[in-house]
Amino acid sequence: MKQTKSLRSNLGRVRGLGSAGHGTEHWWLLRVTSFILIPLSLYVIGNFFVSVIGGGYSDAILWLRSPFSATLVILFLGVAFHHAANGLQVVIEDYIHCEGLKLITLVIIKFLCAALAILGTLATVKVLFGV
């Protein structure tokens, strides 16, 4: 009978993180966020576009003030910035090879994505509850 023995440790096999130790989370989340963004970005960016090409202030506020739109906008901010951060991370890792600069750039980009998502969320909540 043929016996094959893997060199992989039992712990390594159970963890399932692969030879680089990262697993598949980045890859999977990029796909999931892409899929969600198909309808979500069409709706949110569509309304944004209609507003900036000449829709008025009151129309835009009316649209944003509904709980439905506000929820979708906040969801969009979270998902889109996560998708952008993930994609930009891949680009940065491809082109910047100096470890220090790569790390700093990655941290700054991810921080900016988080900060902008929070800023957008706060603005949406402000429109929803008052102004």
Nearer to another protein, 41 or 75 (CB): 41
Taking the complex as a whole, the smallest distance from the CB of residue 15 to another protein amounts, in Å, to 24
| Of residues 4, 19, 22, 128, the one with CA closest to residue 66 | 128
Amino acid letter, 55: G
Question: What separation in angstroms does the CA of 11 have from each of 15, 17, 20, 23, 96?
Answer: 6, 10, 15, 14, 33
Report the distance separating Cα 62 and Cα 19, nearest Å.
52
Name the site residues for another protein (rule: CB under 8 A).
Answer: 31, 34-35, 37-38, 41-42, 45, 48-49, 51-54, 57-58, 60-61, 64, 73, 77, 80-81, 84, 87-88, 91, 97-99, 116-117, 119-120, 122-124, 126-127, 131
Taking the complex as a whole, the smallest distance from the CB of residue 10 to another protein amounts, in Å, to 30
The CA angle 119-124-125, to the nearest 5 degrees, is: 100
Nearer to another protein, 108 or 119 (CB): 119
Nearer to another protein, 7 or 98 (CB): 98
